[in-house]
Amino acid sequence: MRRSIVLFFVAAAPVAAQNQVVKPPIAQYWVSVETAAGMTMPGMGATGSVVPGMTGGAAQGGRRMALQLGSQQVPAGPPRADHAIPAGMNMGPALPLLTPERAAAPRGGGEPGGMEQPKGRMLIYWGCGESVRPGQPVVIDYAKLAQGQAPGMAARRVSAPAAPAPGRNRTYGDWPNVEDAKQVPDSASLRGDHAVKGSYSPEIRFSLGEGQDFMDRVALASAPRGAGAASVTWNALPTATGYFATVFGSEERDEVVFWSSSEVQEMGGMLMDYVPPSEVARLVREKVVLAPSTTECTVPAEVVKKSGGSPFLNFIAYGPEANFAQPPRPGDPKKPWDLVWTAKVRFKSTASLILGESSRPERASRPQAGPQAGREAAPPPAAAPDPVEEGIRTLRGIFGR
């Protein structure tokens, strides 16, 4: 088998290499790998147990994988591609990469009339400790935002390449899809040889070894501390590059609370996703992301109280990346690097936890809320506060991430 080389980040390359002409690849392939611990409730301990009766990303644990192939080539016939996987995946010989059908453009247009003035506000806190820091919270009033009055809230940008997508590539395929959406077994291993072959992409081959597999599962546990604070602990993951946690909750109907584990002022909601290791290292230095040696963080008492006493905590352990390219980078920086394909395998491990002593059903069914809420969140309960959705939508627009 022809071996591909590891593609290092441009930021780490010599100055001469940075000036090298690099031709964009014909094809890009991304493998996104997640270990999800599911959600635990008070009294369950650090087991990663799933709350009975719940469905969706906030509650379901297990191993997950998303495959995305984008190419600038157009096939002569129907597009078709497959990812031949190692036997250790226990998922058969290959996974089909299906090209989704393009949705028809909606008819009509224009903004809906009768839009009401947004109401409510969000209280933003940050930092581990029994008490909140001076100067907190930062209050975001939705009505003032709608009038263009932005709050003085820090939000760092994360530099990351864009994944393959239907609108970004001439031909695109992904998995899971309507043709194949099988579950990834808990025993699955990515170690071994991988090959991607299709009618619209050059053949892509790479191998994964030790340390390039599903991350360990996060085991979260919480306990009361001080006058209402909640101490959260977790196991140290061998391949983690850093950790980040957020809390989202509500005590009042028109007021929601957001907290992050960042030591410095930071919105941080968009950090609940894959982040390149180089960016994680920078954010650790800037005290936004917790160092990989950290195994405890205390949610302040005021945050717990104003979140209704049993807020929802989301947790992420960032993992490594494996990057491959073909052909190898020329040693002579004067020679252009005409890439044929690149491949990226990225890792993360996630978990959720209901803090506090309460185990009321309405708290148990709360979705994965927060500025990163999206496609995997469970449907919100009927009694969920209206400002939650309004705040998420508005904050995304403000911070542009």
- What are 128-137's pLDDT values in tens digits? 999 999 989 9
Average pLDDT of span 134-141: 88
Is the pLDDT assigned to residue 5 strictly greater than 60? no
Q: Looking at per-residue confidence, does 145 or 42 come out higher?
A: 145
Considering the domain boundaries, does residue 106 fall inside one? no
pLDDT attached to residue 59: 52
pLDDT tens per residue, range 13-62: 444 456 889 999 999 999 999 999 988 655 444 444 443 333 344 456 89
At residue 347, the pLDDT reads 98
pLDDT of residue 384: 36
Nearest alpha-carbon partner for 392 in 289, 274, 246: 246
pLDDT at 109 over 60: no
pLDDT at 20: 87
- 82: containing domain: 5-100+118-375+383-399
In single-letter form, the type of residue at position 350 comes to T
Task: Please tell me the predicted confidence (pLDDT) of residue 357.
Answer: 52
What's the confidence (pLDDT) of residue 309? Answer: 80
Asked whether the predicted pLDDT for residue 267 surpasses 70, the reply is yes
56-105 pLDDT, tens digit per residue, is: 444 568 999 999 999 999 999 999 999 999 999 999 999 999 999 875 55
In tens, the pLDDT along 301-321 reads 999 999 888 889 999 999 999
Neighbouring C-alpha atoms within 13 Å toward the C-beta of 52:
4
If 0-12 CB within 10 Å is exposed, 13-18 middle and 19+ buried, where does residue 179 land? exposed
Instruction: State residue 105's pLDDT score.
Output: 53
CA torsion through residues 199, 200, 204, 210, sign: negative
Residue whose entry in the numeric block shows the structure tokens 């809320």:
369
Stronger pLDDT, 262 or 370, i.e. the higher one? 262
Q: What is the pLDDT of residues 217-247, one digit of tens each?
A: 999 999 999 889 999 999 999 999 999 999 9
- 220: enclosing H helix or E strand: none
Q: Hey, what amino acid is at 384?
A: A
Alpha-carbon distance of 284 to 139, in angstroms, equals 26
Q: How many domains does the chain have?
A: 1
Asked whether residue 27 is assigned to any structural domain, the reply reads yes
* CA 128/CA 144 separation, integer angstroms: 29
In the prediction, which pLDDT does 392 show?
45
Q: Can the peptide bond before residue 176 be classed as cis, meaning omega within 30 degrees of 0? A: yes
Structural domain includes residue 111 = no
Of the chain, the end-to-end C-alpha distance in Å amounts to 40
This prediction has a pTM of 0.80
Identify whether 107 is part of a domain: no
Residue 181 falls inside a structural domain? yes
Task: Answer yes or no: is 216 within a domain.
Answer: yes
Q: For the chain, what percent of residues have pLDDT higher than 90?
A: 58
Instruction: Tell me which residue has tokens 């252009």.
Output: 336
Please tell me the predicted confidence (pLDDT) of residue 116. 59
Q: What is the pLDDT of residue 144?
A: 65
Question: Tokens 């709350």 sit at which residue?
Answer: 51
Q: Specify whether the CB–CB gap between 21 and 288 falls below 8 A.
A: no
pLDDT the model gives residue 339: 96
* Res 18: pLDDT: 60
What is the token pair recorded at 370? 């927060």
Cis peptide before 137 (omega within 30 of 0): yes
Distance CA 399, CA 394 (A): 9
Residue 105 belongs to a domain = no
Q: What is the mean pLDDT of residues 266-273?
A: 82
- Using the structure block, give the residue that is written with the tokens 């820090």: 154
Average pLDDT, the chain: 80
- For residues 215 and 95, the answer to whether their CB atoms sit within 8 Å is no
Task: Write the pLDDT tens digit of every residue in 326-367.
Answer: 999 999 999 999 999 999 999 999 999 998 753 333 333 333
pLDDT at 121: 87
Three-class DSSP labels, 260-311? ECCCCCCCCHHHCCCCCHHHHHHHHHCCCCECCCCCEEEECHHHHHHCCCCC
Sign of CA dihedral 240, 347, 344, 328: positive
What's the confidence (pLDDT) of residue 269? 67
Does residue 184 form part of some domain? yes
pLDDT at 395: 45
Instruction: Tell me what pLDDT residue 294 has.
Output: 98
